[in-house]
Structures are given as C-alpha cells and as structure tokens.
Amino acid sequence: MGVLEVTRSGGVLLLRLNRPAQRNALDRALTDALSAAFDELDDDPSLHVGILAANGPVFCAGTDLHEPASPATDRGGEYGLVRRRRTTPLIAAVEGAALGGGLEVVLSCDLVVAGAEARFGLPEVARGLVATCGGLFRTPDRVPPVIAAELVLTGDPIAAHRAYEVGMINRLVPAGQALDAARGLAERITRNSPDAVSASLGALADARGPAEAVGWTATDKAIATVVRSPDPLEGVAAFFEKRPPRWAR
C-alpha cells in the first residue's frame, strides 16, 4: 500500500493520505504522489470533483520535519497543490488535526467538511518558523483577522466547532462522518454543468490573484527574516528532543 490511496467513483476522485504512523506528514514521496493525482484530476475530463481525506487519527501534521523544506512540484507548488491552478473543485474531508502545512493544504481546497473532533492550527511560531505555504494570507482571507492573528501568533489550534463558527469550514458533522458528507457535497456539484463549474472556479481564482501575489511577497519577506535567526534550528531540535525551546532572546 502506497503513501496515497487513489480511488475513482463516477466523476469523483478520492485521495487518502496514507502515512498514519507519521501523522500523514508531507514528505517528498507523498508530495509527488499528490501532484500526480491532482494532474489526473485536472486533466481527465471524466472527473468532475476531487475529495482529499486521510487515513488514521490525524488528517495531516504538515511538512515532515526530516525534509529540508516543504516539498514542491513544478506544476503544483508546495505539496503538489498549494500554488496549483486547478480546473476541478477539490473538497477537504478533515478528521483529526490539520496543523501547519496540513492546514495550508486545507486552505488550498475549495470546500471543507470537518468531523466534530477536527482541529486546525498553525504551530510554526512554536518551532521558530513561519507558515510558508499560504497560511499567512489565506487564513485571514477565510476567517476574521483577529482569529487569523490568534492562529498565527499563538500557534494554538482551534476546535472544529469554532472553525465552523468563524467560516473556515462549510460543513460540521459528527466525528467520523466527514468523508460521507464530502461525498454528498461532491455529488451535488456533479449535477451541474462541468464547463460552468470549471469556468466559475477559474473566475474565483482570478479574483483572488492580486491579493495572493501580495501574500506570497509578504510570506517571502517573513521567511527571509527567520532564516537569519537561530530560532528555527533550536525550535526543530526542541521538537525532536521533546523539550521546551530555548530561544536566543
């Protein structure tokens, strides 16, 4: 069994992250598998909706910290998804925690369904890092700025019910039912004109384009600041050594 399970049902492509022992952390192999699957989703006209789910108790813990940086592909950017210009809607079905790059993957999807025990967070600052894959600007695009600031600056996650209240997710369902609810949402989309859906998706992306460009520039500036600091090395070391970090100042 590979790091990504891919199944087709009618016009729906279901992708399941399959590194449960690693909390579905995104490494090079999983990124390449995701990128290939998203290529299939966008290039096969018989596919009309994608669903991204995960095996195990954690949706995704973000970048595998054994990687030197968030893995990326030419067509999709980080994780094969974050900078992708998609032509087919993608629904995230979240059970358990979506943290760091895991939340940034969720923010890269068009619709989000979550089980009641899901959690969403950007813990990078606790490791001396910043969110590098869209979290710094897509979070305030999805939720009120004060909630985005709380997520980015404290590193603490918010529960699914709060994420629903502030508009981060579309559907909140009982734990264990996110995938079924996502399938129902996908079925609703497939009743519509594929060409109209694709054109509308493109228009939504075009409307966000200028703000996204500014967001990537601001993110690059934040990254340039932290790479000059000793904090990232200390934060990651503390994470692996399971101890509180000792910051330089």
Q: Which domain holds residue 146?
A: 4-190
229 C-beta neighbours (distance < 10 Å), count: 15
Residue 196 domain-assigned?
Answer: no
| pTM reported for the whole predicted model | 0.97
Give me the number of domains the chain comprises: 1
Looking at residues 106-135, what average pLDDT do you find?
97
Residue 231 domain-assigned?
Answer: no
C-alpha to C-alpha distance for 162 and 169, rounded to whole angstroms: 10
Residue 153 is predicted with a pLDDT of 98
Residue 162 domain-assigned?
Answer: yes
Residue 121 domain-assigned?
Answer: yes
Q: DSSP of the chain, one letter per residue? A: --SEEEEEETTEEEEEE--GGGTT-B-HHHHHHHHHHHHHHHH-TT--EEEEEESSS-SB--B-TTSSS--EETTTEETTTTT---SS-EEEEE-SEEETHHHHHHHTSSEEEEETT-EEE-GGGGGT----SSHHHHHHHHS-HHHHHHHHHH---EEHHHHHHTTS-SEEE-TT-HHHHHHHHHHHHHTS-HHHHHHHHHHHHHHHHHHHHHHHHHHHHHHHHHTTSSHHHHHHHHHHHTS------
133: CATH: 3.90.226.10
Percent of the chain clearing pLDDT 90 (strictly above):
97
C-alpha to C-alpha distance for 100 and 151, rounded to whole angstroms: 10
Active-site annotation, residues? 104, 124
Q: Which of 5, 73, 3 is nearest to 39 (CA)?
A: 73
Residue 204 domain-assigned?
Answer: no
Q: How would residue 195 be classed by pLDDT, with cut points 50, 70 and 90? A: very high
Chain segment 215-234, per-residue pLDDT in tens: 999 999 999 999 999 999 99
Chain segment 171-194, per-residue pLDDT in tens: 999 999 999 999 999 999 999 999
Residue 60 domain-assigned?
Answer: yes
Chain segment 47-58, per-residue pLDDT in tens: 999 999 999 999
Residue 222 domain-assigned?
Answer: no
Residue 102 domain-assigned?
Answer: yes
- Cα–Cα distances (Å) from 212 to 13, 100, 137, 230, in that order, read 27, 19, 7, 29
Residue 154 is predicted with a pLDDT of 98
